[in-house]
């Protein structure tokens, strides 16, 4: 029988996360204090859990996944299958190119974000904290953290950019059902929010304001920690579970990827699938290329500069060395809202700097993106998130390029999330255009 | 490590469907022609595929699943895991009762309906048909058939009751993205529809009208077949894949269910999980009870009579011996719309008649239903369909009853679908009530 699904048993779930830091071509440039203002490092240290902070700095290559976290991963449906996209290959007329995809869309809240949310919730509970605080833009991170908090019996407070909060009713419902307190930001819960509302009661908010509110809330509420969903080293460490599973699954499939493709905003799903493979490349155990698929509205890897910059608009983080468009850059809203971030994670940026990671951007009208997603739905049968559709678009384009050149090539795409809560976007782009 | 997830490898996917007919306590009462009007048997035979018709009558106990259909099942993500609901058990304070659930919610379109949709599409293609036609009420069946048609490169035509079509925008988008032609019924596509619209251009439609339109369309378009999503024997046969997997998974879990619980409208998901276990009970190989969870608005198993009745309002089907409320009964809309059907499948009705299947009903306000679903979400982490929530509600109630009585008991609930497209219902019932 022709098997397109490669699954690991729960016993084969990886027992360690992979940390690429010791394998990088040169030491990762450390975070730096900005020249003015209070110490951002101390501030960050104060708002995060101790274990995540330790992992952020760790130079250990393999970090054991605590038994309880492995149980949480299994509860959340891990390991997740790898599929050979034979039906899509057929539709594209591929003879020499093989396509695969990893199914993070099977996540309980709809994206890979749960892979780090569960870990952060676990450590917070272990360290005696009772509340997880965060900001959210598109809403995937807020949902994932609400879920993780509930599973660990913690409170969750989400500051959600008002302009998105107002219309993403279903995602808001999901977070609230999961017991989170979800505030439209700017809110009345913080001094920052109240000041902004006093000036303009209908201020639409921004990610910068939401982060500021979240951090202020954490500062002023004992027992709370601030949780981050992307960019930082420990987040990518937790996401390495994706790539580690995928390596084992390719062994079962008796195949080897020549190219790994993922969408990239800050870099958490891309890093998750790519870093374990990249580590083997750096150790000369494997040959493989890596392609990040981005939006023209946030082309940090293609148009950004590799320099120190803040991770957030509000300048609360230390300076991080990243490919950045500048932390004050305004980016036009797109349907794949999770990709709108001004900079790429330091780990990805370092790999980009050494030409190990390459990048491609797609136009802001997202027309070809939704066409690729619809082709994927109609061939493979799965409705994927707008963000993940960038990975599929780039995967298809690379496949066709290789096929035309007569190259045998194996491409693996990461499907970071499902699209059941994005059908409005499909409707607008595919049925009304 | 504490494993709550029991999964089969793709190699362990069952190779045969189970047909309970030869194992029933007495022969299944055959379908009958009504006293007036044309032959419904001939009509049914003309609109269905030959293979499904053959299976409908089959007295073979095991029917091989063609290799290509097994590949389609694997493409659609089968086998699906069985979970031990340890977190829910803890929340309920259970010490002697163990709860399990089968995850049909992992289906590509969100419900177990794909298990028969793929089979019907496969046989239609094999028999040279080019178009699948159906009606849909809640929309799960229409989505599943659209999906199956697309995977088999067939056309799909869905007549969707206008009153639902108008507001379930996301589900409509999904069907259209899958390439289906979706008509608001009554439509201008059929004589039946045109006549109704001439009298009342804003007629809200009904399932009866939608069925009539679908059958007329099939009659007048060569190469089309009509597909049914529940009630008939061949549909429950295809769904037996659920229970057959679950039997193997309980072996892996080294446990045995004492009670199988499913929600029941027409009976396809309930039959799917229950019949393979019921067959072993009838063959004295196992002891197990079966409980169907219903809505007070459609209590066919508790308040219905066991007699011959039509399967549809329009009287197009032969008479089937079923527990029925009467095929003209009007049922108030509920959120779990997939449970609103006037009769239970002949196979389930026969088992009910012999006291092998029991039933319970829940109030039409659905308050306790959504409370159970929210408790499930907050403990197990999965957002389930309103229909499936009836199974969870009954599972919880039976668990608490057994626990109070001090009985050791193992209960397995079937989660027939996910709730990502039902968040509006959760919002109304849980956040606004």
The pLDDT profile of chain A, 433 residues, written as one tens digit per residue, is: 667 899 999 999 999 999 999 999 999 999 999 999 999 999 988 899 999 999 999 999 999 999 999 999 999 999 999 999 999 999 999 999 999 999 999 999 999 999 999 999 999 999 999 999 999 989 999 999 999 999 999 999 999 999 899 989 999 999 999 999 999 999 999 999 999 999 999 999 988 899 999 999 999 999 999 999 999 999 999 999 999 999 999 999 999 999 999 999 999 999 999 999 999 999 999 999 999 999 999 999 999 999 999 998 889 899 999 999 999 998 999 999 999 999 999 999 999 999 999 999 999 999 999 999 999 999 999 999 999 999 999 999 999 999 999 999 999 999 999 999 999 999 999 999 7
Q: Is residue B366 predicted with pLDDT exceeding 80?
A: yes
First CA to last CA across chain B, in angstroms?
A: 41
**Interchain proximity B431–A7, CB inside 8 Å:** no
pLDDT given for residue B1 in this prediction: 66
* CB-CB neighbors (< 8 A) of A174 in chain B: 383, 423
Q: Rounded to an integer, what distance in angstroms lies between the CA atom of residue B155 and that of residue B179?
A: 7
Q: In sequence order, what are the residues at sequence separation of 6 or more whose Cβ sits closer than 8 angstroms to the Cβ of residue A7?
A: A79, A81, A82, A249, B7, B9, B10
* CB-CB neighbors (< 8 A) of A9 in chain B: 7, 9
pLDDT given for residue B208 in this prediction: 84
With beta carbons less than 8 A apart as the criterion, state whether B107 and B114 touch: yes
**Same domain flag for B201 and B142:** yes
Between strands B5-6 and B82-84, the pairing is antiparallel
Residue A231 included in any domain: no
**Interchain proximity B170–A81, CB inside 8 Å:** no
Task: Tell me the CA distances in angstroms from B360 to B108, B263, B274, B293, B295, one per residue in order.
Answer: 30, 10, 16, 5, 8
Q: What is the pLDDT of residues B255-299, one digit of tens each?
A: 999 999 999 999 999 999 999 999 999 999 999 999 999 999 999
**Same domain flag for B294 and B329:** yes
Nearest CA in chain B to A149: B378
**Same domain flag for A312 and A404:** yes
Q: Rounded to an integer, what distance in angstroms lies between the CA atom of residue A289 and that of residue B364?
A: 57
Residue B233 included in any domain: no
Show which of residues 378-397 on chain A sit within 8 Å of chain B, judged by CB atoms: 378, 380-383
With beta carbons less than 8 A apart as the criterion, state whether A137 and A294 touch: no
CA atoms within 13 A on the CB side of B355: 0
Q: Is residue B206 predicted with pLDDT exceeding 90?
A: no
Question: Looking at the complex, does the CB of residue B198 fall below 8 Å from at least one CB of chain A?
Answer: no
Residue B205 included in any domain: yes
* CB-CB neighbors (< 8 A) of A431 in chain B: 173, 176-177
Q: Rounded to an integer, what distance in angstroms lies between the CA atom of residue B132 and that of residue B304?
A: 32
Residue B275 included in any domain: yes
**Same domain flag for A373 and A412:** yes
Which residue, B323, B320, B300, B301, is CA-closest to B310? B320
Closest in A1, A176, A179 to B70, CB measured: A1
With beta carbons less than 8 A apart as the criterion, state whether A275 and A308 touch: no
Residue B232 included in any domain: no
**Same domain flag for A249 and A361:** yes
Q: Rounded to an integer, what distance in angstroms lies between the CA atom of residue A74 and that of residue B2?
A: 9
**Same domain flag for A88 and A28:** no
Q: What is the pLDDT of residues B299-327, one digit of tens each?
A: 999 999 999 999 988 898 999 999 999 99
Nearest CA in chain A to B86: A75
Closest in A71, A424, A427 to B1, CB measured: A71
Q: In sequence order, what are the residues at sequence separation of 6 or more whose Cβ sits closer than 8 angstroms to the Cβ of residue B355?
A: none
**Interchain proximity A381–B430, CB inside 8 Å:** no
Show which of residues 266-295 on chain A sit within 8 Å of chain B, judged by CB atoms: none
Q: pTM to 2 decimals?
A: 0.97
Nearest CA in chain B to A151: B379
* CB-CB neighbors (< 8 A) of A151 in chain B: 87, 381
* DSSP state letters, A101-154: EEEGGGSTTSBTTHHHHHHHHHHHHHTT--EEEEEESSSHHHHHHHHHHHHTT-
**Same domain flag for B203 and B150:** yes
Show which of residues 94-133 on chain B sit within 8 Å of chain A, judged by CB atoms: 106, 108, 110
**Same domain flag for A316 and A249:** yes
Confidence of residue B101 (pLDDT cuts 50, 70, 90): very high
CATH number, position B200: 3.40.50.1100
Q: Answer with the one of B202, B226, B250 that is the final residue of a domain.
A: B226
Number of domains in chain B: 2
For residue A149, give how far its alpha carbon lies from the nearest alpha carbon of chain B (Å): 10
With beta carbons less than 8 A apart as the criterion, state whether A112 and A242 touch: yes
With beta carbons less than 8 A apart as the criterion, state whether A231 and A323 touch: no
Q: What is the pLDDT of residues B9-34, one digit of tens each?
A: 999 999 999 999 999 999 999 999 99
Closest in B70, B81, B179 to A378, CB measured: B179
First CA to last CA across chain A, in angstroms?
A: 41
**Interchain proximity A71–B2, CB inside 8 Å:** yes
* CB-CB neighbors (< 8 A) of A147 in chain B: 381
Q: In sequence order, what are the residues at sequence separation of 6 or more whose Cβ sits closer than 8 angstroms to the Cβ of residue B195?
A: none
**Interchain proximity A421–B420, CB inside 8 Å:** yes
Task: Tell me the CA distances in angstroms from B281 to A318, B247, B250, B356, one per residue in order.
Answer: 66, 12, 15, 9
Q: Hey, how many other C-beta atoms are within 10 angstroms of the C-beta on B224?
A: 22
pLDDT given for residue B346 in this prediction: 98
pLDDT given for residue A1 in this prediction: 66
Best probe of the B interface among A107, A420, A425, A433, by most B CBs < 10 A, is A420
For residue A53, give how far its alpha carbon lies from the nearest alpha carbon of chain B (Å): 27
Residue A232 included in any domain: no
* DSSP state letters, A141-199: HHHHHHHHHHHTT-EEEEEEEHHHHTT-HHHHHHHHHTT-EEEEES-SSSHHHHHHHHH
**Same domain flag for B145 and B89:** no
Residue A234 included in any domain: no
Question: Looking at the complex, does the CB of residue A179 fall below 8 Å from at least one CB of chain B?
Answer: yes
Residue ranges of alpha helices (H) inside B29-93 are: 40-47, 50-57, 67-75, 86-92
Q: Is residue B6 predicted with pLDDT exceeding 80?
A: yes
**Same domain flag for A313 and A192:** no
Q: How many CB contacts within 8 angstroms connect chain A with chain B? A: 124
Q: Domain residues for B57?
A: 16-65+113-226
**Same domain flag for A253 and A218:** no
**Whole-complex ipTM:** 0.97
**Same domain flag for B207 and B313:** no
For residue A282, give how far its alpha carbon lies from the nearest alpha carbon of chain B (Å): 33
**Interchain proximity A5–B74, CB inside 8 Å:** yes
Q: Answer with the one of B157, B192, B226 that is the final residue of a domain.
A: B226
Q: Answer with the one of A202, A226, A250 that is the final residue of a domain.
A: A226
With DSSP H G I counted as helix, E B as strand and the rest as coil, what are the percentages for chain A, rounded to 5? 45, 20, 35
Nearest CA in chain A to B84: A75
Residue B235 included in any domain: no
Supply B202's token pair. Answer: 């804003």
């Amino acid at each position: 029988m022709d098997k397109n699904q490669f699954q690991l048993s729960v016993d084969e779930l990886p027992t360690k996360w992979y940390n690429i830091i010791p394998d990088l071509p040169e030491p990762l440039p450390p975070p730096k204090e900005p020249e003015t203002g209070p110490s951002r490092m101390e501030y960050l240290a104060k708002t995060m859990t101790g274990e995540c902070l330790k992992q952020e700095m760790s130079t250990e290559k393999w970090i054991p996944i605590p038994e309880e976290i492995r149980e949480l991963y299994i509860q959340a449906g891990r390991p997740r299958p790898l599929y050979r996209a034979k039906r899509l290959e057929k539709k594209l007329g591929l003879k020499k190119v093989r396509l695969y995809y990893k199914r993070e869309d099977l996540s309980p809240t709809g994206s890979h974000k749960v892979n780090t949310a569960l870990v952060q919730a676990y450590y917070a509970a272990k360290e005696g904290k009772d509340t997880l605080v965060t900001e959210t833009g598109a809403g995937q991170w807020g949902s994932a953290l609400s879920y993780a908090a509930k599973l660990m019996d913690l409170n969750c407070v989400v500051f959600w950019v008002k302009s998105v909060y107002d219309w993403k009713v279903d995602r808001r419902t999901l977070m609230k059902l999961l017991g989170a307190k979800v505030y439209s930001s700017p809110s009345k819960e913080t001094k920052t929010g109240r000041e902004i509302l006093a000036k303009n009661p209908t201020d639409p908010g921004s990610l910068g304001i939401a982060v500021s509110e979240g951090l202020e809330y954490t500062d002023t509420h004992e027992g709370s920690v601030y949780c981050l969903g992307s960019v930082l080293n420990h987040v990518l460490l937790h996401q390495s579970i994706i790539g580690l599973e995928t390596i084992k699954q390719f062994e079962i499939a008796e195949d080897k990827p020549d190219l790994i493709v993922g969408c990239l905003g800050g870099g958490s799903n891309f890093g998750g699938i790519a870093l374990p493979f990249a580590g083997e490349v750096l150790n000369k155990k494997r040959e493989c290329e890596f392609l990040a698929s981005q939006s023209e509205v946030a082309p940090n890897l293609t148009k950004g500069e590799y320099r120190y910059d803040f991770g957030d608009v509000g300048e609360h983080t230390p300076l991080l060395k990243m490919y950045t468009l500048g932390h004050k850059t305004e980016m036009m809203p797109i349907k794949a809202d999770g990709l709108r971030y001004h900079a790429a994670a330091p780990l990805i940026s370092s790999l980009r700097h050494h030409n190990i990671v390459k990048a491609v951007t797609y136009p802001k009208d997202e027309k070809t993106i939704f066409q690729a997603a619809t082709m994927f739905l109609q061939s493979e049968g799965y409705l994927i998130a707008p963000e993940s559709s960038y990975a599929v678009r780039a995967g298809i384009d690379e496949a066709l390029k290789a096929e035309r050149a007569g190259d045998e090539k194996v491409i693996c795409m990461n499907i970071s999330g499902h699209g059941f809560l994005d059908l409005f976007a499909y409707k607008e782009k595919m049925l009304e255009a």
